[in-house]
Amino acid sequence: MRRLAVFLFFLLSLLPVSRLQAHEIRPGYLQIQQVSEKEYHVFWKIPRMGDAVPKIYVDFPKSFKVEELKQPNPIPGFVVYAYKISSGSPLFGTEIGILGLNKTLIDVLVNIEFLNGERIPFMLQPDKTHQLIPAKETLWGTVKTYFILGVEHILLGIDHLLFVLALVLITSGFWKLFKTITAFTIAHSITLSLASLGFVGLPGPPVEAVIALSIVFLALELIKYNKGELSLTAKYPWIVAFTFGLLHGFGFAGALTDIGLPQTTIPAALLFFNLGVEIGQILFVFFILFCLWVLKKTELKFPKWAPNIPIYIIGGVASFWLIERVLSFWA
C-alpha cells in the first residue's frame, strides 16, 4: 500500500496542473443534418483546452457549396461552428474528412442524419482522417464507433478514474475489490441505460458536482483508513461504490446524450458504449494492481506519511472541481 501510494504520487506529479481537468480531451463532434433534398445543416464542435483551439477543419465534399451560418460560438470545452452545405448530388458516396487531424490526438465522431430519420455514425481518427459516407447505417460501424467512444470516455475522464483509484486504495483483498468494482459497474450501467433512453434524467451540472463530491468523500475515508479507523466504507466499500455509481452513470449518460444515438441500432450503440466503459475501467484497475505487484517486488522503504500523499492530491483536485462546478451554477 505504501509503495503504491508513493508510485501514484510520482505518477500524478508528472501531470501538469493545467491538464488536471475532468474529461480534458474530448472527441470532436461533426453533425450533418439533412433539412431538404439538396441541403444540409452542419454543426462542428472542436474540443478545446482553456483558450487553445486545435487547428482542425472540416474537409467537405468538393461538389458541395459551403456557407457559414454564424460566427464561431465558444461553449465550455468546445468551440461550435455552424454551416449550410448544398449540392444537386446526394451526400452518401462522397468523401468527408478533417484537415489537420493527423497532427493531433483527437478523434472525431461524425453523425449524419437524413430526412427519413436514419442516422449514420462513424469515427475519424488521426490515422484515418477521411472516409466515404456509406449509403446506410451498418451494425458493425455502430459497434466499433460506440465501443471506442466508451473506452475513451472512461480513460480520459480523470474524475471517474480518481473515484475508481480511491476505491482500489480503500479496498483490501481481491474478492472484496471484485465485489466493489462489480457494484460500481452495475450501478452506473443502470443509470447510463435508463438516462440514455430517456426514462430518467438529472441536470448535468449538479451531477458533475456530486461526482466531484464523491471523490472528496472517498479521500476523507482513505485518511481515516490509513489511521487504522475501519469506517463503513472500508468494511463495505461496495455499498459506497453502488450508491455513487448511480450518479456516475448519469455523468456517462450526459456524454452519450451529447454524442447522440443512431436511429436503428440504439441497443447495440448503448450496449457497446457501456462495454467500452467497462473495458477501460478494468484496464485501469489492472494497471494499478500491476503497479502494486511490481512495487512489492522491490525492497524500497518509504516514510510512514507516504501513503497520505496521493490521498491529499486526489482530495485536493476533487475539491477544486467541486468548487469550480458549484460556482458554474451561477456563471
* pLDDT (tens digit per residue) in 45-104: 998 876 788 899 999 988 899 998 888 888 777 889 999 999 887 887 889 999 999 998
Asked, for residue 144, whether it belongs to a domain, the answer is no
Chain mean pLDDT for the chain? 82
Q: Is residue 85 part of a domain?
A: yes
If phi > 0 it is left, if psi is from -120 to 50 it is alpha, else beta; for residue 65 that is: beta
Q: Cα 287 to the chain's mean position, in Å?
A: 18
Instruction: Quickly tell me which residue has 440504439 as its cell.
Output: 266
7 has a pLDDT exceeding 80: no
Question: What pLDDT is stored for residue 87 in this prediction?
Answer: 87
* Mean local confidence (pLDDT), 152-158: 82
Q: Does any domain span residue 150?
A: no
Percent of the chain with pLDDT over 70: 87
- For residue 299, name the pLDDT band (cuts at 50, 70, 90): low
Q: Is residue 319 part of a domain?
A: yes
Which domain does 11 fall in, by range?
2-23+157-330
Same domain assignment for residues 77 and 94: yes
> Terminal CA-to-CA distance of the chain, rounded, Å?
41
* Pair 307, 200 in one domain: yes
CA atoms within 13 A on the CB side of 26: 23
Q: What is the per-residue burial (b if ≥16 Cβ within 10 Å, else e) of 286-313?
A: eebeeebeebeeeeeeeeeebbbbbbeb
In DSSP terms, which residues pair with 85 in a beta bridge?
Answer: 40, 66
Residue 84: its pLDDT value, please? 93
The whole-number pLDDT of residue 2 equals 47
Q: Is residue 18 part of a domain?
A: yes
Q: What is the pLDDT of residues 169-187, one digit of tens each?
A: 888 888 899 999 999 999 9
pTM: 0.71
The amino acid at residue 130 is H
**Cα–Cα distance measured from residue 114 to residue 123, given in angstroms and rounded to the nearest whole number:** 18
What is the count of structural domains for the chain? 2
- 84-to-37, 38, 120 alpha-carbon distances in Å: 13, 11, 19
DSSP labels, 274-330: HHHHHHHHHHHHHHHHHHHHHHHTS-----TTTTHHHHHHHHHHHHHHHHHHHHGGG
Beta carbons within 8 Å of 18's beta carbon, 6+ residues apart: 49, 50
The answer to the question of residue 306 being in a domain is: yes
- All cell numbers assigned to 70: 454564424
Is 63 part of any domain? yes
Task: Tell me, yes or no, whether 151 lies in a domain.
Answer: no
Coil, helix or strand for 28? strand
Q: Which residue has the higher pLDDT, 12 or 124?
A: 124
pLDDT class for 263, splitting at 50, 70, 90? low
Q: pLDDT, tens digit, for every residue of 189-243? A: 999 888 888 888 788 788 889 999 999 999 999 988 888 887 888 889 999 999 9
Instruction: Please state whether beta strands 57-59 and 65-75 pair in parallel, antiparallel, or not at all (unpaired).
Output: unpaired
* Average pLDDT estimate for 271-294: 88
CA distance 37 to 88: 8
